[in-house]
Amino acid sequence: MDFDTYVQMGGYAMNVWGSYGIGIVGYGALLAHALWRYDRLRVREKQAAKK
Amino acid sequence: MNGQCYLLKNWVYRSGFGDGLAAQTILFFVVSLCVAVFAIGSESELLIQVVPGLIWVLTLLSSLLGLPDLLNRDAQDGTLDDMVLSKHPLPMLMLIKIIAHWAATGLPLSIIAPAILYTMDGTRVFDPAFVLAGLLAGSLYFSALGLAASALVLQARRSFALYAVIVLPLSIPGLIFGAGSLSQQAQGLSGLGGFYLLTACAVLAVTLIPFASAWIVRMKVAS
Amino acid sequence: MLTKFANPARFEKLAKTILPVLSLLATLLLSLGLLDALLLSPPDYQQSETVRIMYLHVPSAWVAMATYAACGFAAMIFIIFKHTLAELFMRAALPVGALATIVCLATGMLWGKPMWGTWWVWDARLTSVLVLMFLYVGIIALMDAFDRPEQGGLAGAWLTTIGLINLPVIKYSVEWWNTLHQKSSITSFKRLMNPAIAPEMIRPLIVMSLGLTLYAAIVIIVRMRSEILARKLKIAEAV
Q: What is the pLDDT of residues C56-106, one digit of tens each?
A: 999 999 999 999 999 999 999 998 888 889 999 999 999 999 999 999 999
Mean pLDDT of chain C: 85
CA angle C119, C121, C123 (to 5 degrees): 150
Contacts 24+ apart (CB under 8 A), C175-182: C176/C124, C177/C123, C177/C124, C179/C121, C179/C123, C179/C124, C179/C125, C180/C112, C180/C116, C180/C121, C180/C123, C181/C123, C181/C125, C181/C126
Chain B residues whose CB is inside 8 A of the C162 CB are 148, 170, 212
Q: What percent of chain A has pLDDT over 70?
A: 98
Which pLDDT value is given to residue B161? Answer: 84
pLDDT band at A30 (very low <50, low <70, confident <90, very high): very high
Which pLDDT value is given to residue C160? Answer: 94
Question: Which residues does residue C44 pair with via DSSP β-bridges, in sequence order?
Answer: C48
Q: What percent of chain C has pLDDT over 70?
A: 87
Question: Which residues does residue C48 pair with via DSSP β-bridges, in sequence order?
Answer: C44
pLDDT band at C187 (very low <50, low <70, confident <90, very high): low
Q: Calculate the alpha carbon distances from C224 to A8, B72, C82, C90 in Å.
A: 41, 33, 17, 9
Which pLDDT value is given to residue B5? Answer: 78
Residue to mutate among C127, C129, C151, C162, with most B CBs inside 10 A, is C162
Q: What percent of chain C has pLDDT over 90?
A: 44
Q: What is the pLDDT of residues C106-149, one digit of tens each?
A: 999 998 888 888 888 777 788 889 989 999 999 999 998 888 88
Which pLDDT value is given to residue B220? Answer: 84
Q: In the predicted model, is pLDDT for residue C39 greater than 90? A: no
- d(Cα C52, Cα C34) in Å, to the nearest integer? 10
Look at C135 and B169 and tell me if their CB atoms are within 8 Å.
yes
Q: What is the DSSP letter of B127?
A: -
ipTM associated with this complex: 0.90
* Torsion sign, CA atoms B122, B128, B134, B139: positive
Model confidence, pTM: 0.83
Question: B126 with B186: CB under 8 angstroms?
Answer: yes
Q: In the predicted model, is pLDDT for residue C3 greater than 60? A: no
- d(Cα C236, Cα C133) in Å, to the nearest integer? 36
Report residue B176 CA to chain centroid gap. Answer: 15
Look at C158 and B153 and tell me if their CB atoms are within 8 Å.
no
Q: Which of A22, A31, A37 is nearest to C26 (CA)?
A: A31
- d(Cα B49, Cα A48) in Å, to the nearest integer? 65
Other beta carbons within 10 Å of C40: 11
Look at A27 and C225 and tell me if their CB atoms are within 8 Å.
no
pLDDT band at C195 (very low <50, low <70, confident <90, very high): low
Q: Is C48 helix (H, G, I), strand (E, B) or coil?
A: strand
Interface of C with A (CB under 8 A): 34, 38-39, 43, 48-50, 52-53, 56-57, 60, 95-96, 99, 102-103, 106-107, 110-111, 113-114, 212, 215, 218-219, 222-223, 225-226, 229-230, 232-233, 236-237
Q: In the predicted model, is pLDDT for residue C220 greater than 90? A: yes
pLDDT in tens for each of the 223 residues of chain B? Answer: 677 777 777 777 776 666 788 888 999 999 999 898 888 877 767 777 888 889 999 999 999 988 888 888 888 888 888 888 888 889 998 999 999 899 989 999 999 999 988 888 777 778 889 999 999 999 999 999 999 999 999 888 877 888 988 998 889 888 888 888 888 888 878 888 889 989 999 999 999 999 999 999 988 888 7
Other beta carbons within 10 Å of C21: 10
Length of chain A: 51
CA angle C107, C139, B21 (to 5 degrees): 115
Burial class, C182, CB count within 10 angstroms (exposed 0-12 / middle 13-18 / buried 19+): exposed
Which pLDDT value is given to residue C188? Answer: 54
Q: Do chains C and A touch (3 or more CB pairs under 8 A)?
A: yes
C151 vs B28, which has greater pLDDT? B28
pLDDT band at C1 (very low <50, low <70, confident <90, very high): very low
